[in-house]
Structure 1
């Protein structure tokens, strides 16, 4: 049975109420010493800089990839310290902790260093600081405007809820294993994305070449130089330029913010438009199954997506829409637009005003190389489609693991 001094989920055999005590009574505190980015070297002694705590490191720091030359007054880890950044841009950034497991690592400036007593597991403490009510307490204590600060005096006042050491260690080991699984999944996802990037370079001809480096067996002959317009059934078009009136229900309406990882994320739709508005806008363009989109303005110019739904929706003008002709495969076009050759043209041609902007007629004139064999186009499109599906699957598994961790953090701590 859960009360305010026991977590909702526990390992078997643990029934005692958790204690609550000021962190200042359970640890010793110190500070790191003055290093900056200018002190970094290509090799030397490993050093942790405070900014990396909220951009790179997880709960347990497994490896350090920044190095420096040790100074006379360097603060060096003895192992199992908990470190918390003492300054940052937001209170959420700095209200987090990591554990330095290995001794001999230099601890740079703007780091609060906590050495817990033998009653407190260091990983358990870092997890407690970074999550739940302890983190909320630190966020409230962080002070500042352009830069916020957390001091050891703030950390000492945190009310830590904790169980006996044996249970703390079991909880810590559980989350270390979960973190290791998440890191492995992230590495797998990165490898898949790099694999796709490599194949995009090898399965489409490089600049000045007429055939790709890698090709499906049975296909020969040079690829042909074409302008993008020659692949399309209709001119490049876009959605309405005026801002529509959004409704609480109706036809989904999307813009560039719905294009994420070269896919349409309908959860990021702008809202809905009425049947009447959709009919009015669709006189100019109505999205169809396997239409290809390219973001033609804004910070994400060049991002692509392909329509994989037959449900009705509509788009706003920052999206350029393309529909292939009978001699082209839509997925071939979709992945062709992601190649370095086309993306470089996007960067070159997008006007450099207050924000990048690519004209539709300019887009139609893009130089491309395509195989005139429709079957080869389909094989290339299907290959990359399968690779994208695998990437999506791994991304969903990674997202599910992170949600699982979040749920357990809520239920395994007081």
Structure 2
């Protein structure tokens, strides 16, 4: 495939892409000058901060700083591209962001410079093209420094970038704009659900000194009881697995504390799994497993899959029928274990058994647990969608530009 044709493109476009230097298609200007710390935080003008440029291919019009109006400064106009000039690592210099809002008296922070193109680029195409893998690699090569890296306006203007026909630019720009809109949508939903969960955790459990929550389901009025987890059962763990019993690939995933809640890096045989599962303690489906080392108190609900867990580091409460698993999982998420000892903390069986929990009747436990289980499922759903969309965007940034 020609070097001037992208690996992936919209149907109807076949012409090779032209390569042009940025400096041939626009001019640069500097950020704020002659300002001290006291000049910021007040005034009728606004400026685009460094972090806004660094974080966003399309600048966020709500993330602005305050400064006094100064007619001697360069103004940022609709369609301008903003570049960072300094960073602690070479792969973070020259990050770009296109300003697509209309605002009077808008300036640029002093650690960035502006680029005003001549109309050769669709602004959305320009925003994502400058963040594509090929262009970023060319910009990173220009970074200079040792402890901190810098890049000059002149060097950036020498960078050659792909310039397809305007119709194709618009199609590419619209696609990435739509992807970013979907990413932002799922991020907002994820954040809103996370905030809702935090608020409900505060209001649906009794505060210290109280035996009733501020908010509860209708039909429940009895006070909650203060109990210790040890009154409901005992701490259990899987049979110990030795290193020589594991392999890097195999039939049944073996989760250690470092892979708990993520992808396994060790496996055991079906024969060993079935033997240990039948002869030694093993969690029932729906049981919250809890980490006793590493990120202490982190939980994963066992769903009944074929898997085995590291003894002593991953444990569970084997309890009677007076405690609901979904309610227990919610309790784990907010308990303060107050661990004592050295800098290397550990959750011992006694810490779990002596943990005080305020519990309602079993039906209310189930109602509360089901609510938070549903919230966790929705939060996880939007997180998965975010991860898929971000991966898709990264893949397209590699394949749709030359």
Q: Does TM, scored on the shorter chain, surpass 0.5?
A: yes
Cα distance change of structure 1 residues 116 and 379 upon mapping to structure 2, 3 Å threshold: same
Aligned to 2:49: 49
Aligned to 2:31: 32
Cα distance change of structure 1 residues 216 and 162 upon mapping to structure 2, 3 Å threshold: same
Please, which runs of 5 or more residues in structure 2 have no aligned partner? Answer: none
The partner residue of 1:67 within 65, 82, 87 is: 65
Cα distance change of structure 1 residues 159 and 239 upon mapping to structure 2, 3 Å threshold: farther
Pairs aligned (count): 396
Aligned to 2:98: 99
Please tell me the root mean square deviation across aligned C-alpha atoms, in Å. Answer: 3.2
Aligned to 1:3: 2
Separation of aligned partners in 2, 1:98 and 1:316: 50
Tell me if 1:369 matches 2:358: yes
Residue 351 of structure 1 contacts residue 358 of structure 1 at CA under 8 Å; is this kept in 2?
no
Aligned to 2:368: 380
Aligned to 1:401: 389
1:131 Cα deviation after fit: 1.1
Separation of aligned partners in 1, 2:311 and 2:73: 56
Aligned to 1:292: 288
The partner residue of 1:332 within 310, 327, 336 is: 327
Please, which runs of 5 or more residues in structure 1 have no aligned partner? Answer: none
Q: Residue 197 of structure 1 aligns to a residue in which SS?
A: helix
Separation of aligned partners in 1, 2:80 and 2:223: 62
Cα distance change of structure 1 residues 297 and 85 upon mapping to structure 2, 3 Å threshold: farther
Instruction: Kindly provide the CA deviation profile for residues 393-413 of structure 1, in whole angstroms up to 9, marking residues without a partner as x.
Output: 222222232233233333332
5 Å-filtered alignment, 1:128-143, equals 128-143=129-144
5 Å-filtered alignment, 1:206-245, equals 206-231=207-232, 233-235=233-235
Q: Residue 377 of structure 1 aligns to a residue in which SS?
A: helix
1:322 Cα deviation after fit: 2.6
1:27 Cα deviation after fit: 2.4
Residue 4 of structure 2 contacts residue 16 of structure 2 at CA under 8 Å; is this kept in 1?
yes
Q: Residue 217 of structure 2 aligns to a residue in which SS?
A: coil
Residue 88 of structure 1 contacts residue 147 of structure 1 at CA under 8 Å; is this kept in 2?
yes
Separation of aligned partners in 2, 1:228 and 1:67: 51
Tell me if 1:252 matches 2:253: yes
Higher mean C-alpha deviation, range 138-147 or range 283-292? 283-292
Separation of aligned partners in 2, 1:257 and 1:37: 45
TM-score by length of 2: 0.85
Residue 197 of structure 2 contacts residue 375 of structure 2 at CA under 8 Å; is this kept in 1?
yes
Residue 43 of structure 1 contacts residue 68 of structure 1 at CA under 8 Å; is this kept in 2?
yes
Q: Residue 161 of structure 1 aligns to a residue in which SS?
A: strand
1:196 Cα deviation after fit: 1.8
Aligned to 1:309: 304
